[in-house]
Amino acid sequence: MRHVVVGVITCRRPEWLSRLLDSLLKQEVREEIKVTIAVVDNANDDKTRKVVESKKVSSTSINLLYDIEPKPGIVFARNKCVSLCQSLNADFLAFIDDDEWLEQDNWINTLLEASERYNCDIVTSRVVSVGESGTPDWAVNLIYGKNPYEEGEQLPVFYTNNLLLSKSVIAATVPCFDKRFAMTGASDYHFALRCNHLGFRCVYTEAPVHEEFPKSRATIKWFCRRGFRSGIGYTRSHLFEETYVKALVRVTFMTMVRLGRSLLSFAQGIVTLNKTKLVDGLFRLCSAAGSVAGFFGIKHEEYKVIHGK
């Protein structure tokens, strides 16, 4: 019997959490698999607790538990999931976001089978963005873009929005997520960098999840702030894990790449009058600026504003 903990971090988004839990509770898992859905509430929200308590678990292979992480910050909530996984002596920890849901009932099985097939400790897949009612297409198309990965491809970077980790990864990296990224974002990129340095392989498999993109984020300002924040996170991650000289060389190169891609997107957007390309150019320009800002200790607190419902 193998045990998988599915970690769900939530913060005042009870409606979206309910949708996710409904899709998780419909998962079909193999007889030798036990699943625990661990909801970690980072707001101690009464509505969130009631949503979890209202769910009826019909499968004998799936358990549902609710816990609270009192320290505000996504890092602390993620690490609470890690602690729960270890306390349950689980073999795997999967992460999925509370604004996501599953269209297929074999998501867990697919991730586990990929781990076996490719003999890897980390498995990830894509996220399909679906706009909230009234969200403009340009924003939905921009958030993730087209999937560039193929089945079985090894990836140097991964995120926690659709992820499976073996207990070997957890044991080697605990505490997995660095508190210096508590409110800024990029803790999952930093974690991926640490895993790469330790020699763990991450492989892509086709196990998509769907994510609702809120209308409140569909602004040029939000994408620019996101780009700036991602650039800062990239620089800080490499400064924490590499020598200053190595990080400087890497970040300088990536800044030039981002500037080049920004100019290309701008040019394509102007020629084709494509707003997605124009905003993508701004996003990459702000990302380049953030990469430089990261060297000066500048931070951007991504998670102070909650989008969604």
pLDDT tens per residue, range 210-248? 999 999 999 999 999 999 999 999 999 999 999 999 999
Look at residue 309 in the predicted model and tell me its pLDDT: 62
Look at residue 290 in the predicted model and tell me its pLDDT: 97
Alpha-helical regions (H) of 242-308: 244-272, 275-293
Q: What is the pLDDT of residues 133-160, one digit of tens each?
A: 999 999 999 998 888 999 999 999 999 9
Can you say how many angstroms the Cα of residue 167 is from the centroid of all Cα atoms in its chain? 19
Asked if the model's pLDDT at residue 189 lies above 90, the reply is yes
Distance CA(186)–CA(183), nearest Å, equals 9
Q: What is the pLDDT of residues 3-50, one digit of tens each?
A: 999 999 999 999 999 999 999 999 999 999 999 999 999 999 999 999
The token pair that represents 23 in the structure block: 């899709």
Q: E strands, 144-272, where?
A: 162-166, 202-204, 209-213
Look at residue 91 in the predicted model and tell me its pLDDT: 99
Half-sphere exposure (Cβ direction) of 8: Cα atoms closer than 13 Å: 31
Asked if the model's pLDDT at residue 305 lies above 60, the reply is no
Burial class of residue 6 in the structure, from the number of CB atoms within 10 Å of its CB (0-12 exposed, 13-18 middle, 19+ buried)? buried
Half-sphere exposure (Cβ direction) of 172: Cα atoms closer than 13 Å: 16
Q: What is the pLDDT of residues 71-121, one digit of tens each?
A: 999 999 999 999 999 999 999 999 999 999 999 999 999 999 999 999 999
- Domains observed in the chain: 2-217 (3.90.550.10), 220-304 (no CATH)
Label the pairing between strands 209-213 and 33-41. unpaired
